[in-house]
């Protein structure tokens, strides 16, 4: 094969020069072979962490012991155009014990043993400084064929870490084109009870990545068929509604797709899986009300925008009217209208001599209602004049 472009990365070159036996591993190798852009570049080496740190510092590179218990050191390299980039370098490992969530490891100098503990064949390849690929489990062939296979026996590999069920679907959505074989299907179904051992944060992180894949419907349908979807979202789901959203070319936004998929209570789901406050609030807002009508005038749209962020209103149009051209025109109108903000605050009332107290809030609410009724067109000067007028009543 020709020299892979990834090897032209200057930071990587510096690390490979400092640690002679180091190889690129995992996703960077997979994506290089798939012709996809690489983001994080991870490496492995036979050298133990102390030796890695010594070699990096001798080469003038910054070394941070980010995960010594797992054998991981992060090399930080200054980039030619400014800034820095981190590269994780991990000593080769083998598993001593696993419990479905964590593994106890020992260092090794055996490259095949390290590759054997990885989840899928397409993630178990490595590449040295010359571009030579080391592929112990036929990952290159599987990647070319669109086949996602576990390294080793599927049931045993899933039992080592039940998150591999969701990782399987994430990688299958991105790299798979062939239907999983029956032993894999059986292992995925058998492993469902083990999902309860995982932290909900890990489940949501992995599931949101599945939702963000370019074409998740085959994955969602298989997860639904196997009972995995209902195990993750017992509140209820509608894959058909998600299909409608995706078919309309809606943005590949995981929260928007979740809102289309979810049929149960959004707050219950968000609380159970511990979504961030921002994610929770946005999910609830997407499902809280229908969108504006596509024949609403600009004043009505401004009233909507005064109470609800543009992104949320546009999301509601996707959820409620994705297939029609009228909704597309409405989305363009919403984007074009500057979101109005009511220009008065309590200090404006205090500035004209009104005494502090609940009456100020009541008065401002009345003026805001007047402002909304008139299409949110009144500017700050006009609103202050209305404040003066009403304060004298």
Q: What mean pLDDT is predicted for residues 213-241?
A: 96
CB–CB of 87/74 below 8 Å? yes
Q: What percent of the chain has pLDDT over 70?
A: 96
In this structure, what token pair is assigned to residue 153?
């026996």
Question: What integer pLDDT is reported at residue 68 of this predicted model?
Answer: 76
Name all domains of the chain by residue range, CATH numbers in brackets: 1-145 (3.30.460.10), 289-336 (no CATH), 346-391 (no CATH)
Whether the predicted pLDDT of 241 surpasses 70: yes
Q: What percent of the chain has pLDDT over 90?
A: 86
| CA gyration radius, the chain | 28
Average pLDDT value for the chain: 93
Q: CA nearest 44: which of 109, 139, 140, 120?
A: 109
Half-sphere exposure of 158 (CA within 13 A, CB side): 22
d(CA 268, CA 234): 10
pLDDT in tens, 123-169: 999 999 999 999 999 999 999 999 999 999 999 999 999 999 999 99
What are the two backbone dihedrals, phi and then psi, of residue 160, each rounded to the nearest 5 degrees?
-70, -35
pLDDT in tens, 22-46: 999 999 999 999 999 888 999 999 9
Q: How confident is the model at residue 81 (pLDDT cuts 50, 70, 90)?
A: confident
Instruction: List all residues 6 or more positions away from 196 whose beta carbon is below 8 Å from its beta carbon.
Output: none
pTM: 0.87
In this structure, what token pair is assigned to residue 336?
């074009």
Q: How confident is the model at residue 1 (pLDDT cuts 50, 70, 90)?
A: low
CB–CB of 176/148 below 8 Å? yes
CB–CB of 79/85 below 8 Å? yes
Chain centroid offset of residue 165 CA: 17
CB–CB of 249/202 below 8 Å? no
HEC assignment per residue over 326-353:
HHHHHHHHHHHCCCCCCCCCHHHHHHCC
Question: What integer pLDDT is reported at residue 69 of this predicted model?
Answer: 76
Distances (CA, A) of 160 to 105, 182, 376: 12, 20, 59
Question: What integer pLDDT is reported at residue 276 of this predicted model?
Answer: 97
pLDDT in tens, 365-376: 999 999 999 999
In this structure, what token pair is assigned to residue 331?
């989305």
Task: Please report how the helices 182-190 and 164-175 are oriented relative to each other, as an axis angle in degrees rounded to 10.
Answer: 140
Whether the predicted pLDDT of 343 surpasses 60: yes
d(CA 109, CA 48): 9
Half-sphere exposure of 235 (CA within 13 A, CB side): 16
Q: CA nearest 107: which of 70, 160, 151, 52?
A: 70
Burial class (CB in 10 A: 0-12, 13-18, 19+), 155: middle
d(CA 252, CA 224): 20
Question: What integer pLDDT is reported at residue 391 of this predicted model?
Answer: 87
Chain centroid offset of residue 182 CA: 29
pLDDT in tens, 185-196: 999 999 999 999
pLDDT in tens, 266-289: 999 999 999 999 999 999 999 999
Question: What integer pLDDT is reported at residue 2 of this predicted model?
Answer: 61
The three-class DSSP label of residue 240 is: helix
The three-class DSSP label of residue 302 is: helix
Question: What integer pLDDT is reported at residue 105 of this predicted model?
Answer: 73
């Amino acid at each position: 094969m020709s020299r892979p472009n990834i090897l032209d990365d200057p930071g990587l070159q510096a690390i490979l020069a400092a640690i002679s036996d180091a190889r690129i591993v995992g996703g960077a190798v997979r994506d290089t072979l798939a012709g996809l852009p690489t983001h994080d570049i991870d490496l492995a080496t036979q050298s133990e962490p102390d030796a890695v740190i010594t070699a990096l510092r001798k080469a003038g590179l910054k070394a941070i012991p980010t995960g010594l218990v797992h054998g991981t050191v992060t090399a930080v390299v200054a980039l030619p155009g400014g800034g820095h980039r981190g590269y994780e370098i991990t000593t080769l490992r083998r598993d001593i014990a696993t419990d479905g969530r964590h593994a106890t490891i020992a260092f090794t100098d055996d490259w095949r043993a390290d590759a054997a503990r990885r989840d899928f064949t397409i993630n178990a390849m490595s590449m040295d400084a010359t571009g030579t690929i080391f592929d112990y489990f036929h990952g290159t062939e599987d990647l070319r064929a669109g086949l996602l296979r576990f390294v080793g026996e599927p049931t045993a590999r899933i039992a080592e870490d039940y998150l591999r069920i969701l990782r399987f679907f994430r990688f299958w959505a991105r790299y798979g084109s062939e239907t999983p074989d029956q032993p894999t299907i059986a292992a995925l179904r058998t492993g469902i009870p083990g999902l309860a051992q995982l932290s909900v944060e890990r489940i949501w992180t992995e599931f949101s990545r599945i939702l963000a894949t370019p074409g998740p419907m085959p994955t969602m349908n298989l997860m639904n068929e196997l009972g995995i979807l209902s195990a993750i979202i017992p509140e209820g789901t509608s894959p058909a509604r998600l299909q409608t959203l995706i078919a309309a070319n809606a943005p590949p936004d995981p929260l928007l797709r979740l809102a289309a998929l979810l049929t149960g209570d959004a707050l219950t789901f968000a609380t159970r899986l511990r979504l961030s406050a921002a994610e929770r609030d946005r999910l609830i807002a997407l499902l809280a009300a229908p969108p504006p009508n596509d024949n609403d005038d600009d004043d009505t749209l401004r009233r909507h925008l005064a109470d609800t962020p543009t992104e949320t209103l546009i999301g509601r149009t996707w959820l409620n009217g994705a297939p029609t051209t009228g909704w597309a025109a409405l989305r363009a109108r919403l984007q074009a209208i500057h979101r109005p903000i009511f220009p008065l605050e309590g200090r404006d009332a205090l500035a004209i001599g009104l005494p502090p107290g609940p009456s100020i809030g009541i008065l401002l609410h009345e003026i805001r209602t007047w402002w909304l009724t008139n299409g949110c067109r009144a500017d700050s000067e006009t609103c202050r004049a209305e404040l003066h007028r009403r304060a004298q009543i």
